[in-house]
Every structure is written in structure tokens, then in C-alpha cells.
Structure 1
């Protein structure tokens, strides 16, 4: 049995009647040959000891290191290093994944096996909108006022060029029959007895009712509205000036003229999400095939790995989740994930954001990991930014958002506009609204900060999400929208809610052309 993860080492110790200090288990897991190190530690443990200590493990590892140094001196015959088994080249898109030697991963993958001929000086990566360490919200009333005012001002700025906006108090003083335009936050949507739509808009000065007649072409747009999003309307005031009859409705939207940026050289990024290490349904074999492929010549241009949340399965996320866990301790889940991450080539740049299964607050925006988790996640010096975060990779701006609000968008909007089988369509709606989680007070938990980090102030070139465990992609006004599936087979909970996941896929993005290839490893 491979002992490349702390959880497996703990299990092996327990089967032999031993316990161990947490740091001792970590040292054994990090050993080049963890199985052999464990055997030697148990062989030399005092007869009356039932727990392996850090000091004892360190003494064993020091002796092994000294022995290895002696073997490598001139005149000795060093043993050849084990090389990873090449899992072959899985075919593109829906092709069959290549076969894998059953014992190809019976070792702790050394991080150093990732050396490739890569010119690191050509890399460039910048991160914006990362609120990690900058949380200011206390949950008081004024915090909510501040964040919603910031949302309104930012999105209204995108709309003021399209309508001749007047504040609500000014419209209330206009004469009946006048033409008027208003930018406001949707505070209420309801249908009248006659089947028309009454939309109440709120700005910083007050509220005003707007009526969309059911026979107008724009009536279909009302069904795409969510509470708390910012829109603009223009039309004509009623004779008594008490209501605005809407002629046109505008979203902040992505300009149709948006021209995405591209990299100056041929370089690729792998965009994945929802790994869910710690779940009994985590697809370790598919992950091994993926990381083996990253070491092949065909993947030599894949220099970036972007993970959009849910690195681990977490604990207590949904009812009776404990029955589906392979690793029940959240910290051991991250230790295991860090070990799996070591299979990735050591020269790859890795950026991640948390999701709703990760050990951070559920309310969005979610900050990156705290110091304790960062101490566990040491592989590759992988960086964990907040959810959402704007990551610019060699000139290509990628908005990374885990995607919890997609559930709400899909539940609220018509099926043709947003559904689980085509998750990118729900993402189109968020791009149209220029906000990753517009509706407050529903299933998506939102935290008030000194500004709204969830607004899409800058139009991204790529919008990358996860969460719904479905694979889907397409372009909306030249923005590539991608939901990258997952690495977890269907759980009992997913069966109960009719979720059939798309698992074991790795979208590979050409940063110089924004063309994408989806590879299947399951």
C-alpha cells in the first residue's frame, strides 16, 4: 500500500497498535520513501513505546540521509532513482483516457521530479481584487449600507453613458408624461393582476416603481432579473408621474466590442476545480493520469495551474457527509492534497482560490487560507488568493470565482437562460450583470466589506468557475466562460439531488490564442 499521505500513515500505524505525534506523521510522509521510513521507525522504536515521537522519527531519517550520502560518494554504486510511470497520452475531449500501470503511484511523489526545460524569466502573473488580510466587515448595519452603495456606484458608472439618468427624488418632481431614465438597484419584482411586470428600483435617494408591459419585447428581460442587481431603464412617466412606463432596459453588461488580450508567446494554463481530496469518491487514479500527462512532451507548454476552489472535501458541509469521507480530519485532508500536488511538475506556477468546502468562512468574498493552512499547503509554494480574484497571466486576465451563486442563478432564472447541463449560460448572466453574486439574502452568503469585491469592475478575458461539478464553456461578448467540472465521482448526496458530475476533465487554455482543449483523464 502506498504511504504517500499522512492519513494512510496514521491508518497503517493504527493497524499495528501505534499512535504518533502529528509532526512525526508529517515527517514520515515527506520522506523520499515513506513506507521504508515507517518500517525502520517501527523497527527501532523502544519496546515500551506506543507513540512515535518527532525526535525518534528525525533520528531515523537522519541515519537514512547519512547512509544515502555515503552511497553516493565516489567508488560506491548508487542505486538508480525511481522514475514515474508514463500513463500515456489521453486523447482530446471525450476520448478514452490512457491506461495506467497499477503500481505507478506506490511512492511519495518527490517534488523535484518536476524539472523541465522552462524559461521562468518569461513568466508574468499579477493578482488583483484579493481581499485576503483586508477584511473590515463587522456585520453592523452601516457595513451593509457601505457595500451596497459601493456596488451601486460602480455599476451605475457602467450605465450612465447609455441613459440620461436622473435620481429618484428628481423624477418624483417631474411632470406627468415626461421622458425619464433611472439607474437603480432592483428592490422588488412582481406581476400585476393584468400580467404586467412591476419592478421597483432604488438609488441612493429613494425608490421608484417602473412598469414593463407584458406585450413589450423587453418583457422577457424581466425574467432575467435578480434582486439587488443594478440596471438602467428609460421610458415615459404616467400622467400622474407616479410610475415610469419602461421602453428599454439595460444591464451593465460586457461591451460587445470587448477585445481580449493574449500572451506574447505560446504558453498554456490548466484550469481545474473541485478536487475534493478526502472524499471517498475522490478520483485519485484520474488525478495520477493527469499529473503524469503534465510530465509528457505534449504538456511542455502547460506552465500554469489555476484551481477554482474546493481543494478538499471538508467536514460537515452537507448532511451525513461523514459517511462519505475517506479522511475525517480537515487538516489531514489538506496534508493529503499537498501530497497530491507534489505530483505536478515542480516548475509549474500554481494559483488557487477557496470554495465552499474549504476551511475558510462561507460568506463571500472568501479570504485565502490562514497561516496554519498555508503551513500545510507547502507544495510548490502554491498561492491561495481570495474568492473571487482577478489573476492576470502573461497579459490574459482570468476572473476566478468558485461559483456558489450559480445555484441561485439557475434556480431563479428560466431554464433556457441558466441550467446545470450548460453552466456557462448561468455564467453569461453574471457577466451581463457584471457581478459574481448579485442577489443578497438567498442561498449565497455575502459578507459586508468596505467595498464590494464581487463587482466585475474590469472585463475579464476568461471567467473560470467550478462548484456545480459540470463541464461547460462558451464565449459571451468575446469573454471565454468556463466551468471546469470536478475530480470527484458521484456521491450519495449528489444522487439524492440529481447531480451527475462531469469528473476527471482538465481544460487546457492556450494563452496566446484563447483556444481551449479539454482532456479527459477518467
Structure 2
């Protein structure tokens, strides 16, 4: 049996209006007469059934015993060894280090199709994941089916947008940002507000928590930072010979920081000795699942583009029906489901589907190839048919009526998704362009997109700079603040694969499913396409699978 067979069966069932769980697909694929078994199953299933289960298939086929065939090799189960061979799909498992972005990884099969590791790894060590005996896996699957899945959505602003674009809306957004992030910083410094500092006679220790309103260098090469709080603006000077001077290069306008130092004799300026970001606590310990369950993290599918990689997608969805992927119960898609229309100059010349609604209809058809027992969560991106300004609400009712496959949850960008007790911050990632453009290359670059994500974690905000490349919408609250530290930070947008850990938070940019377009060639984007990172939620170890 070919690897594409499960996805073909899933598509055939979808054409009749049914989703199907993986065991049902496996039973149908293992039948001697697949077409006949499929017809019997469809005919015997009630019209009001939404998902075909293994029990439905057994009843339809009269409970006839049949040997289960290996979804990869096609051999009978009776001839299979107890321990399956290592994966042949180019996967590799990664155990990133705790500190600042270096990673170590385990290559399952050492194949040439394994993804190129991001820089900073410490070691490669070969290994084979045997996965245990078939009987043990079957027992584990049966036990897991008795466990109720856990999925919660936080920070979803869909339907709650209040912004009108008026001045007061902007004031409300920035005041909310300041209040929430300042609350994480005021305990670290001898905080006095700008008005109190201005009234000070001068001299002595002092500190302030403020939003960066200006950064400029002096004639002598020192850095002058103006910090604004709810009472005013106060100048802070970082001397070029200070150890913290390098941190100034990481600053973006409108982010909230704290500084500590000494007031000048006349009280007109604060000489900075220490600078603090809201940051992830050094002692942060992430949550993990109580059972062995996994989530696949993908983004930037771009259906409708001439460069959409349909073959790679089919290999991915077919693989999801195999035993190797049986522990994957969640699929999280971080935006750009479709290519969109009018996103960049002359885009119409690179479209395979020119109507935006037809693009979503086709994406929904591709989504039907995914096993019906997966929980799917999606957020929009800058190519999707929602407002460009962030936060972006989830799709409107018209698009939701098209996107009915698997009853996927479509929430806003960003959103905090908690699965099995593990919090995943999903953000499409448009602000990564701004971070990479503004910061030194060693701090943020396209080849290592996770390093730019570390900066956002440090700032505890997914898009701090207003008025730049990233369009931001004013709301009553700033939905882009990271109130809680996520266990996993998942982005897309830049079409580059990169992952690592920052203070125990897993950061992963999941690449794309679109080959290089002419526009991407013109702006020097060489995409990492056809990859599917998979996170083991009970260990937070990650495996990257390649399907291109």
C-alpha cells in the first residue's frame, strides 16, 4: 500500500461528507478490496454521522477478520518485527538546551532528507526510536482513548474588538501595555515616576520604569534613552563603557523597560547602571502533559499559490494516518492558510486560484485529508482575509461557513492555546521582520528566526514597536502583551525553520508549504518548505519531519 492511500481514502470519505479517525482509515486501507470496503462503509453509515469511527467500519464490513498491513511497507502484520524500524521520512528529534538558544538534537535515521540544523547546536548523536512492541502500543492507545482531551483558548479577541481608531483608543492601548508590563518591573528598581524625578533636588540612587519613546547617541558615543510613563518623560544616559551598553542595541521603540542608577546633581538626568526587561524568569519551569501525547506545529500553507507544495502536503497528511504519528492528537496552524489576493505587487501572476473564497474552499478540502480525530486550532496571518492590523480577529461567519473541515477552532492572532496543560502562544509573526531589521544580526536574523523570537519573549510582547512595518490596531487592552509565560512559542510568517529554548520556553518557527516564488526571489527569501515540527507534550522534546 502506498503512503498516499490513507489520505486518498480520507479525501473520498470527505467527498461524502464524513471525517474519519485514524483507526477507521487503517481498517479500510488494510482491506483486500479497498474500493469495495469504502463503498460498504459509506453506504452503511447514517447520513447524520459526522465522523466515521473504527467501530462503524467493523460493523459495515461485517466484522470480518483481516490482517493489518504496515502503512509504510504494505507487509502483513503477522510478518512484522515487534519493534518497527527507524523512520524513513527524514525526521529528527531534538532536545534543545536550556540556555539562550543552543540546541542539541538526536537524528533518528541520519538520512540526507533531515532538515538542516540551526546554528548553535552542541552535538548530534545517532539513535533509533523503537517505539515498543505493537501489543504495548495498542494497549497504550486503548488506555489513552479513555482520557478526555484538554484544549482551552485564551486571549481570543474575536468578536471583542472595540477600536475605532480615535486618539483615546491609542491612549488606552499604551496605558494598558504600560500598566501590565510595569507591574513586572517595578519591584526590581527603586522606582519613581517621571514627575517625581523631575521634582527631585538631584543626587542619590533612583530608578524608573518607562516606555521607550526615543533612543539616540550623543556626540561622545553614549546612549540617551527617553523613558515615558503615565506622568511624563525623563532622560536616561547609558555610558558607552558600561557593560549594559550592548543591551541598548536590543531596544525597540514603545517597549517597556526599567533602569536603575544615579541622578545627576541637578536632577535633570539619570545615569544608568542597570537595565531590565520584563523577560522570562530564569527559574521558569514549563508545564508538561500527564500522558504521552503530541502536537504538530505548522504554518504558511499558502493554498492558491502556484508554488503551493501539494505533493508534500499529501505526504504529510498520509503520514498522519500511520502508526508513527498515532500520538499526534493536535494540529496547530499559525496563519496564512491561503495565498490571498493583492498582498504584494503582481501577486495575481503567481496565483493558481484567483478567487479568495475558492482558495479557502480548496484549503478546506486539503484539511479533510487530516485524520478526523485530530483537534485543529488555526489563527490568521497577513495573507488571510482578515484585517492586517494586529491583533487580528478570527475569520468572519462567511469564511467559517467555508472552513468547516473537522470543526477546526479558528481564533485570533495572537492566541494562547492550552493543550493537555501545556500553554502554546500562537502568533503569526509579522513583527519578526521588524525585529530582524532593527537589531544586530547576531541577535536576530532570518536564518535563525527563533533568535528574534527570544527577543519578543524577553520583551514580553509580540509586537512592541508602533508605527513601523507591523500594523497595530488600538483596543481597550493590549492583546499583544505576554501576561503569562508560554511553555511553547509558535510562529510562522518568515518561511524559515528554526527552533530552540529560551529560559526553558520552546520557541519554534515552523517554515512553510510554499516553494520559492518569483517575489521571494526578488527579496532574497529562500524558504524552508515542507517541514512539520512535532512536540512531545509530556517532555517538550521536538522532532522535525520533512516531506518535501
TM-score with structure 2 setting the length: 0.77
Q: Is the 8 A contact 1:143 1:449 kept in 2?
A: yes
Q: Following the alignment from structure 1 to structure 2, what is the Cα–Cα distance between the partners of residues 176 and 315?
A: 59
Assess, with a 3 A threshold, how the Cα gap between structure 1 residues 464 and 500 changes in structure 2: closer, same or farther. Answer: same
Q: Distance in 1 between matches of 2:452 and 2:294?
A: 26
Contact between 1:87 and 1:292, CA under 8 Å: does it hold in 2?
no
- Cα gap change, 1:171 to 1:32, in 2 (>3 Å): closer
- Counterpart position of 1:15: none
| Structure 2 gaps, min length 5 | 1-12, 19-38, 46-56, 63-67, 74-87, 93-109, 115-140
Distance in 2 (CA, whole Å) between partners of 1:210 and 1:477 is 29
Structure 2 residue aligned with 1:313? 339
1:439-518 to 2 correspondences below 5 Å: 439-518=465-544
Q: Distance in 2 between matches of 1:95 and 1:286?
A: 17
Residue 91, structure 1, aligned to residue 90, structure 2: yes
Q: Distance in 1 between matches of 2:467 and 2:437?
A: 14
Q: What is the 5 A alignment of 1:288-307?
A: 288-307=314-333
Whether 1:438 and 2:464 are equivalent positions in the alignment is: yes
Aligned counterparts, 1:81-480, within 5 A: 86=71, 89-93=88-92, 95=111, 119=145, 121-480=147-506
State the 1:122 CA deviation: 2.5
CA distance in 2, matches of 1:175, 1:185: 24
Cα offset, 1:91, TM superposition? 2.8
Question: Which residue does the alignment assign to 2:49?
Answer: none
- Measured against aligned partners, the alpha-carbon deviations of 1:285-343 in whole angstroms (never above 9, x if no partner) come to 00011011110011110000000000000000000000110000000000000000000
Number of residue pairs matched by the alignment? 440
Superposition deviation, residue 31 in structure 1: 4.5
Is contact 1:90-1:96 (8 Å) kept? no
The superposition leaves residues 179-229 of structure 1 with CA deviations (integer Å, 9 ceiling, x where unpaired) of 110000000000011110000000000000000001111110000000000
Displaced runs of 4 or more, over 3 A: 28-33, 67-70, 83-89, 93-98
Contact 1:268–1:509 (CA<8 Å) still a contact in 2? yes
Mapped partners of 2:293, 2:342: distance in 1: 39
CA contact (8 A) 2:391 2:480 kept: yes
Change in CA separation of 1:302 and 1:120 when aligned onto 2, cut-off 3 Å = farther
Preserved CA contact (<8 Å) 1:96 1:520: no
CA distance in structure 1 between the partners assigned to 2:326 and 2:453 by the alignment: 31
Report how far residue 238 of structure 1 moved.
1.1
Tell me the distance in 1 between the aligned counterparts of 2:259 and 2:461: 18
Contact 1:87 1:289 in 2 (8 A): no
DSSP 3-state at the match of 2:499: strand
Change (3 A) 1:203 1:32: closer
- Shift in Å, 1:32: 7.4
SS in 1 for 2:188: coil
Distance in 2 (CA, whole Å) between partners of 1:413 and 1:320 is 30
Equivalence for 2:98: none
CA shift digits 1:49-106 (9 cap, x unpaired): xxxxxxxxxxxxxxx99x9679x9x9x99xxxxx9995675131384569xxxxxxxx
Q: How far 1:463 sits from its partner (Å)? A: 0.3
Structure with max Cα Rg: 1
Find the residue that maps to 2:184 and give its secondary structure.
Answer: helix
How many Å apart are 1:174 and its aligned residue?
1.1
Q: Name the CA distance, whole Å, in 2 between partners of 1:413 and 1:191.
A: 16
SS at match of 1:158: coil
Cα deviations by residue, 1:469-502 (Å, 9 ceiling, x for unpaired): 0000010010001000000000000000000000
Counterpart secondary structure, 1:254: coil
5+ long unaligned stretches in structure 1: 1-27, 34-63, 78-82, 99-115
Q: Could you tell me how far apart the structure 2 residues matched to 1:297 and 1:482 are?
A: 25
Shift of 1:30: 3.6
Contact 1:418 1:425 (8 Å CA) reproduced: yes
Deviation per CA, 1:367-416: give whole Å up to 9, x if none.
00000000000000001110000000000000000000000000000000
The separation in 2 between residues aligned to 1:120 and 1:340, in whole angstroms, is: 29
Matched position secondary structure for 1:315: coil
Question: In structure 1, how many angstroms separate the alpha carbons of the residues matched to 2:192 and 2:146?
Answer: 53
The answer to whether the Cα contact below 8 Å between 1:181 and 1:233 also exists between their aligned partners in 2 is yes
Equivalent residues in 2 for 1:63-82 (5 A)?
Answer: none
Alpha-carbon distance in structure 2 between the residues aligned to 1:133 and 1:68: 41
Q: Give the Cα–Cα distance (whole angstroms) in 2 for the partners of residues 120 and 508 of structure 1.
A: 23
Q: Is the 8 A contact 2:14 2:368 kept in 1?
A: no
> Which whole-Å CA distance do the structure 1 matches of 2:430 and 2:417 have between them?
19
How many Å separate the matches in 2 of 1:430 and 1:97? 31
- Residues in 2 aligned to 1:160 and 1:126: alpha-carbon distance in whole angstroms: 31
Please say if residues 338 and 383 of structure 2, whose CA atoms lie closer than 8 Å, have aligned partners that are also in contact. yes
CA gap of 1:444–1:283, structure 2 versus 1, over 3 A, is same
